[in-house]
Amino acid sequence: MDAKDCEGFEDLLVLHGYGELDAQEGARLEAHLKDCPRCASAREDLRRVGQALDTVPVPMPPPERWDGLAAQVLALAAVPAGRRRGSISSLARPGLVRAAAVLLLVAGALAVAAGLLGHRETAFDAYAQAIRARNDGLLERLATEFPDSDLARVARDLSPRRMDAADPGPPLPRDHVVVHWETAASYLRQRIDLSPSPGDRFHLAEIYLAKQDRPEALEEYRAVLRDYPDSQFAMLAGLRIEQLAQ
């Protein structure tokens, strides 16, 4: 077997290693390998290359950067096109269809963000998610997952379902929801006084919005934009401000 033939076989070795040869070609190659120390040693080399490739790890992103990915993408998709043209108001004017689409995107981004933020491990986020969804099942979960938090106690008191009751009872009445918002807002304000964070401020703004207090809501959204321009909440706050301007 001369060296020229062997070159072809060396290439086939790569395909063989990945199971990309058909049975006939594979058999022909195996037969050649039995009689050709040169190609047999090439196979060993390739095996070593493959093993070397296998040693390279991939560092996965930290969950805190990874969890909001979809929300960040939707927020990015909704904002920059208008901003880049230097006019936020152009978003509001290009006709009803476009405006409606933008609004849907904004709402979508916020909904996704709310859902993702709802997975964050704080009592308030669980609470906000439960209230937003008008879901007293989530309220119960809050009481179980954060048994020591003030909000869990409030949730337990207000929920028509008792934690230990076999009867699930009626859904949360509207009045209770309003009371919840008040409670949540005052709880948040306390937290913000103790240690301010963009997430809490954004949520507070959301609460004002839910209470239909637009001036307060706008003020909070603007505060998020001003004080935390680099956070993902700034993007979301910007979206809300645009939405409210329409």
Q: Please give the residue ranges that form the binding site for other proteins (CB under 8 A).
A: 11, 14-15, 18, 20, 45-46, 48-50, 52-53, 55-56, 58-61, 65-66, 69-74, 76-77, 104, 108-109, 111-112, 115-116
Residue 87 in tokens: 């006019």
Cα–Cα distance measured from residue 14 to residue 217, given in angstroms and rounded to the nearest whole number: 63
- Closer by beta carbon to Zn ion, 7 or else 145: 7
**Buried-state track 210-229, b at ≥16 Cβ within 10 A, e below 16:** beeeeebbbebbebbbeebe
Per-residue mark of binding to Zn ion, 29-48 (x: CB under 5 A): -------x-xx---------
Nearer CB in complex with Zn ion: 28/85: 28
Task: Give the integer Cα–Cα distance in Å for 75 and 106.
Answer: 7
Closest to other proteins by CB, 120 vs 161, is 120
Nearer to other proteins, 66 or 170 (CB): 66
Judge whether 151 and 207 are in contact, CB under 8 Å: no
6 binds, among Zn ion, other proteins, none (CB under 5 to 8 A by kind): Zn ion
3-state secondary structure 200-227: HHHHHHHHHHHCCCHHHHHHHHHHHHHH
The binder of 167, among other proteins, Zn ion, none, by C-beta within 5 to 8 A per type, is none
Per partner kind, with CB cut-offs from 5 to 8 A, the member of other proteins, Zn ion, none near residue 79 is none
Q: Output 116 or 192, the one with its CB closest to other proteins.
A: 116
In whole angstroms, how close is the CB of 18 to Zn ion at the nearest point?
19
How far is C-alpha 104 from the chain's CA centre?
A: 18
Instruction: Tell whether residue 6 is a contact of Zn ion (CB under 5 A).
Output: yes
* Residue recorded with tokens 């195996």: 30
Helix, strand, or coil (residue 161) = coil
CA dihedral 204, 206, 212, 217 (to 10 degrees): 60
Site for Zn ion, rule CB under 5 A: 6, 9, 36, 38-39
